[in-house]
Amino acid sequence: MKGIILAGGAGRRLYPLTLVASKQLLPVYDKPMIHYPLSTLMLAGIRDILIITTPQDAPAFQRLLGDGSRWGLALSYAEQPVPEGIAQAFLIGRAHIGGDRVALVLGDNIFYGDGLSRLVQQAAGGSGACVLAHRVRDPGRYGIVRFDTGNRPLDIVEKPRHPDSPWAVTGLYF
Each residue's pLDDT tens digit, 134-158: 999 999 989 999 999 998 889 999 8
pTM surpassing 0.95?
A: no
Query: 87: domain CATH number?
Result: 3.90.550.10
Owning domain of residue 173: 130-174
Regarding whether 113 and 173 lie in a shared domain, the answer is: no
Regarding whether 134 and 118 lie in a shared domain, the answer is: no
Long-range contacts, stretch 91-96, CB < 8 angstroms, 24+ apart:
92/52, 93/4, 93/50, 93/52, 96/2, 96/4, 96/48, 96/50
Nearest of 104, 115, 110, 108 to residue 174 by alpha carbon? 104
Regarding whether 150 and 114 lie in a shared domain, the answer is: no
Regarding whether 30 and 67 lie in a shared domain, the answer is: yes
Q: How confident is the model at residue 123 (pLDDT cuts 50, 70, 90)?
A: confident
